[in-house]
Amino acid sequence: MSRFCQQRSIRTLGIIFIASGIFFSASAANKAPKKQAASHSVHFHTVGMKNMVYNPAKLTISVGDTVEWFNSDNVPHMVNSDSSTVFQSPLFNPGKSFQYVFKTSGKFPYHCAIHPMMVGTITVK
């Protein structure tokens, strides 16, 4: 490699370095307000299902929030509101989930229809 070539490639590397620095700082600046907006507008809660328990078993949320029950157990489960008119999931397998949007306030106790010892309560304020 000639001396000229070496100098040129060092200069090119410098330009790439500076350009990527600008790119990263620009994307970091864009990310900050987006993240704040997301945490403010997305009301999404996850309840785990493992070892025959809902975790957390008691959860307090706001009207309009979504709750997702995620089955990470090794057997299928259900999510059945004690009051049959609220939410009733189908039987769903490990690795699958069920979601429900709570549109009214109140206390919503629920259970798994095939494992009656699995119980939980969603409180909507």
Interaction of residue 112 with Cu ion, rule CB under 5 A: yes
**109 with 50: CB under 8 angstroms?**
no
Q: Are 73 and 48 in contact (CB under 8 A)?
A: no
Distance of CA 57 to the CA centre of its chain: 17
> Measured from the CB atom, is 47 or 112 closer to Cu ion?
112
Number of residues that bind Cu ion (CB under 5 A): 3
Cβ–Cβ < 8 Å for 80, 89: yes
- Least gap, CB of 92 to Cu ion (angstroms): 10
**Phi, psi angle pair for 61, to nearest 5°:** -135, 180
User: Which structure tokens are listed for 118?
Assistant: 């699995």
For Cu ion, what does the binding mask look like between residues 72 and 101, x meaning CB under 5 A? -----x------------------------
Among 96, 115, 121, 123, the residue binding Cu ion under the rule CB under 5 A is: 115
- 50 belongs to the binding site for Cu ion (CB under 5 A): no
Contact positions toward Cu ion, by CB under 5 A?
77, 112, 115
